[in-house]
Amino acid sequence: MTAYNNSALRELVQPDRVHRDFYINPEVFDMEMERIFGRIWLFVGHASQVPNNGDYITTTVARQPVIMSRDRKGEVHVMFNRCTHRGSQVCLEQSGNTQRFECPYHAWVFNTDGRFAGAPYPKGYEDGFLAKEKLDLVKLPRMEIYRGFVFVSLSTDVPDIDVFLGPMKDHIDAFCDRSPEGEVEACAGVFRYRYSGNWKLQMENQTDVYHIMFTHVSTTDEDGKQFRREGAEEDEAGKVKVLAQDSRLDDQWEEHPLGGHRHGHVYMGRFAMDKKNSGPIYDRYKASMEDAYGDKAEDLMTVKTHNSIFYPHWSIQHLTQHIRVMNPISVDCTENIIIPLKLKGAPEEMWHAALRSNNNSHSPSGMVMSDDMEVWVRCHEGLKTQSTDWVVLARGMNENFTGDNTGSYESHGTSESGARNQQVAWVDYMCGEG
């Protein structure tokens, strides 16, 4: 029996504060898995992670092992990594190419589209049993692909993906349209790392401008200037400097645009410190964009958002050029999967710089990410204390924040509106009104 009926769940989230159980209670976590992760669209991967027929990756979705594969006709499938005989995972490689999946236990085989392809010693079954029983690897109840972004749901009863994404679809478009070919490609593998803290601590942090100059102060020099998060300042010779210096970290934060939409989605606008690129490589990029898009090129090349945070568990980091997936493992453990993305058709040097930026900032040794992880772990530990039950998220309460999960809003600066927008959506999902 759960202690959390709907009114108890609502109690956890007040307009300007949340109860610590929201983050640390295992029962709340189990309910989230069922009521949030079990009922909406989740991100699995990018179709370019399986570029060729027979390619596959294994990953987890809401704690469940899955396989994303491309079958011999080129179709992408996402299925549970669980043999339909007695339950063994059929594949443990992180990625590969295969004709079929063969279970290690009794060697049942499945095609790359999941179809059951045979069991040894079939005579041991009653006549017709193998034919009539449903023995294909089980697909996730729903799957949709939008511009290569692969979504699945754990229930068939989910809103239409367009409705769920709403205006966030434009953020996917904006990212892909920076490529002269209109496509992004996940061709450099992934980083994985984990921290001992709740998944929402990170989801909220991604919309938190307030922490940047404090948590990340060690990445600045004596003048308070940080290296560019986006790798691309060119010297005369057209060599990209990966750590070119940027403006002071504390410049103009209060003007920084923030916003969000229904269903818990939020975003940060472009950092004021992010300068425009210039140089011979950039000129080549510009020329290829103009060839592809004509008058629209200039606008499409302008990065307008720093990040786009899709509820409940993934984001596009536009400047550092990666997808970030936050996979909840348990109430106090969260795994990140960082998937760097190449802008297809853009100069190779730009991609190399982006890749190196990701190595520097968002790998397990990342100079940015490691300080973030440190604070989430400390939050999770701190919230275990009985000192007070409440976590205060009142910054920007006095501004025009209309985030009540009915429409879009715009906010700015170091406001905690982003976290609050996620939290009101959380209440609606948890109470079955999402």
Binding site for Fe ion (CB under 5 A): 372
Q: Report which secondary-structure segment, H or E, holds 334.
A: strand 333-340
Phi-psi region of 405 (alpha: psi -120 to 50; beta: other; left: phi over 0): left
Q: Work out whether 86 is an interface residue with ligand FES (CB under 6 A).
A: yes
CA–CA dist 383, 392 (Å, integer): 12
Mention every residue, 6+ apart, whose C-beta is less than 8 A from residue 320: 229, 230, 354, 357, 358, 361, 362
Distance CA 93, CA 90 (A): 10
- Please count the other Cβ atoms lying within 10 Å of the Cβ belonging to residue 410: 15
Q: Which of 162, 374, 389, 433 binds another protein (CB under 8 A)?
A: 374
Q: For residue 163, give the 3-state DSSP assignment.
A: helix
Task: Please state, in angstroms and rounded to a whole number, the distance separating the CA atoms of residues 195 and 372.
Answer: 10
Per CB under 8 A, does 388 bind another protein?
A: no
Q: Which residues contact 288 (CB under 8 A, 6 or more apart)?
A: 180, 345, 346, 347
Residues 265-304 touching another protein, rule: CB under 8 A, are: none
Cβ atoms within 10 Å, residue 202: 23
- Cis link prior to 312 (omega < 30° from 0)? yes
Find which of ligand FES, Fe ion, another protein, none residue 105 binds, CB within 5 to 8 Å per kind: ligand FES
Q: Which of 167, 253, 356, 410 binds another protein (CB under 8 A)?
A: 356
CA 367 to chain centre: 20
Given another protein, ligand FES, Fe ion, none, residue 367, with its beta carbon under 5 to 8 Å by kind, binds: another protein
What is the number of H-type helices and E-type strands within the chain? 13, 27
Instruction: Give the number of residues in contact with ligand FES, rule: CB under 6 A.
Output: 9
Q: How far is the CB of 88 from ligand FES (least distance, A)?
A: 4
With binding defined as CB under 8 A, does residue 369 bind another protein?
yes
Contact between 239 and another protein per CB under 8 A? no
91 counts as binding ligand FES under rule CB under 6 A = no
Judged by CB under 8 A, the residue of 7, 156, 218, 386 near another protein is 218
Smallest gap, in angstroms, from Cβ of residue 106 to ligand FES? 3
Site for another protein contains 334 (CB under 8 A):
no
Question: Do 184 and 344 contact (CB within 8 A), yes or no?
Answer: yes
Instruction: State the minimum distance, in angstroms, from the CB of residue 395 to another protein.
Output: 21
Based on its alpha-carbon atoms, the radius of gyration of the chain, rounded to whole angstroms, reads 23
Per partner kind, with CB cut-offs from 5 to 8 A, the member of ligand FES, Fe ion, another protein, none near residue 106 is ligand FES
How far is Cα of residue 122 from the mean position of the Cα atoms in its chain? 43
For 81, the token pair is 């990594």
Of 92 and 397, the one with the shorter C-beta distance to another protein is 92
Shorter beta-carbon distance to another protein: residue 110 or 191: 191
Distance of closest approach, residue 188 Cβ to another protein, in angstroms: 5
In the complex, minimum distance from the CB of residue 340 to another protein, in angstroms, rounded to a whole number:
6
190 sits near another protein (criterion: CB under 8 A): yes
Neighbouring residues of 88: CB distance < 8 A, sequence distance ≥ 6: 82, 103, 104, 105
Q: Should residue 250 be labelled a site residue for another protein when binding is judged by CB under 8 A?
A: no
| 423 membership: H or E segment, kind and range | helix 417-430
- Interaction between residue 355 and another protein (CB under 8 A): yes
Q: Per-residue string for binding with ligand FES, 102-141, x by CB under 6 A?
A: -x-xx-x---------------------------------
Nearer to Fe ion among residue 233 and residue 372 (C-beta): 372
Nearest approach, Cβ of 93 to Fe ion (angstroms)? Answer: 33
In this structure, what token pair is assigned to residue 97? 């190419």
Q: How far is CA 23 from the centre of its chain?
A: 19
Identified binder of another protein from the candidate list 41, 101, 116, 191, rule CB under 8 A: 191
Per CB under 8 A, does 192 bind another protein?
A: yes
Under the rule (CB under 6 A), what is the footprint of ligand FES? 83, 85-88, 103, 105-106, 108
Under the rule (CB under 8 A), what is the footprint of another protein? 94, 188-195, 215, 217-219, 227, 241-243, 335, 338, 340, 352, 355-356, 358-360, 363-365, 367, 369-371, 373-375
